[in-house]
Chain A
Amino acid sequence: MKVKSLSIKDFNQFKDFELDLTYPAGHAKAGLPLDKVCIIGQSGTGKTSLLNKLATKPQIKYLSTNNLNVVKPLGFIDFEDTNLGISTKLYDNGYIGENFLKLKYQPPIMIEANAGSKDLGRNLEYWNDIIKEIVTFREQEIQKKLEIAELITTNQERLQEELANFNEWQKNIPNPLKDLADNFLDKILCKFNLRVRQSLDFKKKEDIETIKIETLEGKEVPNNLLSTGTKQVILTTLPLYAQKPQGKIILFDEPERSLYPDIQTLIVDFYINLTTDCQFFFATHSPLIASCFEPWEIVELKFKPDGTVYRELYYDAERGNHVDNYTIDPRYLRWDSILTRLFDLDKDSNEARTRKLMELASLRSKLEKSNGKISTEEKQKLYAQFEKLAELLDWEYDAKN
């Protein structure tokens, strides 16, 4: 189930607000709901409000199509299940028609912005589900090992057969803890010099009551010493890993929280890989997160003079919503260009840099004019100043100009 469009008649700063959430003409998935959406915009434009709107469970008030007239003027969310070929609308006042029931509405999964501020202690949400799988796996593994051990003295022929079966079982049914660590969490945690502790001894309840983290050197890190960024990654991963969502809507508020830029460039694909055929909505202030999206997947909210908001289009509306008409593509922009072109930052540096650049330009001009007028020693001194300043400003000299 994915959202195809959204219409809000009157809700906070949204007035007669329409959102097309399908791929544009000319795209391989033209007309289908977007797989992922990135909502950007100044604080107060309603990014989180949009997520909350999508997260709201339907209140069933009307079940008869006779009530269509009542609900028509109100806003709606247009859902589509491409597998079942069903498309239907959820109206603001809770109207659910026949098609909606067929759609088997599944409430979206909401990942809050402040996930990393929570604790990894006991009763960790979703850990219990994962640990059940780990315990079951462990019990099965011990049972199989015991059975094999018995065969060592009784039946050598069957022993080989059972060993082969055991190896096959291990291949097909991966250890959930190893899977969680090797295939998901450790890919990010290793950048913090951390990993998930996989060698649990199961002797005490405390050993498995929460996820254990250790340094890459194998030293356990107590939960209260883990950074907010580390907890953010773990606490946002566990719900998706435990639920293994399929065909669901996943709402993510500020996925960049407490994460260093290099991690921000990876995090969108990281979350998507934890799910199957889900539709993601990310609300973000991060240009690095935005750089992971196709231009039609970006919903940039902007204020109108009257305080209501609209979606900034990245294509010429008169020419139509076609991939060829888009003039911005965040995937192809440098980070600084994303800041100025998507996030509307009207300058590319502090003004202190401008004065230093003027100094650099003056030095360059003096060097150009100095041929035959000053000694080689003086010229070398001038060039040393130029070179030092160019390095400080991270400026690359282009001899062509």
Chain B
Amino acid sequence: MQKIDKSAILSTKYKRWEEDMGTNHNLYNSSNSVYYYDVVMNLLWCQRGVCAYTERLLCDEQMYGAENWLEGKYQQAKPEFSGALDHFDPLKKATLGWLWDNFFVADKDINDKHKRNKPVDDILKPDLPSYDPFTLLEYDTQLHLFIANTSLEESIQVRINDMIEILGINLSWVVKLRKSHLTKIFPKIEFEISSWEEEQKANEQYFTAFEMCRQKLA
């Protein structure tokens, strides 16, 4: 799970509207909001088009590129993307339903079927300054699983591993897709058809797992 910088606001009209609401947000309703796509596409821009948690590619760069905004408003009527707007902390949805800080775009099945209203721990909130995947996480290159860094305190490891589970990062279908993507890259490097650098440039998803594999296998 990559570190996400959400400070770049392209949907400025939405952001002003959100700030104007203060701590008294309008009821969250994704289907009839004028700002739904503004939020989603701005997040996808910050997330480089991938799911905030699994890093699976959800959207083509053409759809979330900065050229799609005009005067602080996203311009495409119905952009193509496969994902859902996730409230990181579900408890904030009732009163702070439009809070930018609490939003990420996630795989639809993670949002709808897996994470749902499970309580979260900020230890793996990918936009916090304290979040660093290379300090908190490790990647097992055989099992293609993320785990807590085993050099950390046991109690911290438990918190991280619990959050890995809540965010669906190691769900078996997620692991299968990640493994399938990465194991297509490794032989090309092994047989010197391409290099780690070339593959990194071409790579559009699973950035953290890719980098951790590179550190282990290169």
Contacts and interface: CB of A to CB of B under 8 A. Distances in A.
Contacts of A348: 172, 176
Interface stretch (B7-15, B50-58, B70-78, B134-142): B134-142
Interface in B12-49: none
Contacts of A351: 171-172
A398 B142 contact: yes
B161 A369 contact: no
A365 B150 contact: yes
A172 interface: no
A364 interface: yes
A28 interface: no
Interface in A338-372: 340, 346-349, 351, 353-355, 357-358, 360-362, 364-366, 369
B161 A354 contact: no
A354 B151 contact: no
Given A360-B143, A364-B140, A354 B150 contact: no
B148 interface: yes
B116 to A, nearest CB: 14
Interface residues of A, number: 22
Most buried by B among A346, A360, A361, A366: A361
B141 A401 contact: yes
Contacts of B175: 354
Nearest to A398: B142
Contact of B173 (A347, A365, A369): A347
Contact of A401 (B142, B150, B151, B157): B142
B189 interface: no
B147 A365 contact: yes
B172 A365 contact: no
A349 B140 contact: no
B147 A354 contact: no
Nearest to A367: B150
B171 A354 contact: yes
Nearest to B149: A365
B174 to A, nearest CB: 9
Contact of A354 (B138, B145, B217): B145
A348 B172 CA distance: 6
B164 interface: yes
Nearest to B139: A361
B138 A365 contact: yes
A358 B161 contact: yes
Interface of A: 340, 346-349, 351, 353-355, 357-358, 360-362, 364-366, 369, 395, 397-398, 401
Given A347-B172, A357-B170, 12 more contacts: A347-B176, A348-B172, A349-B172, A351-B171, A354-B170, A357-B145, A358-B147, A361-B138, A361-B145, A362-B148, A362-B150, A365-B147
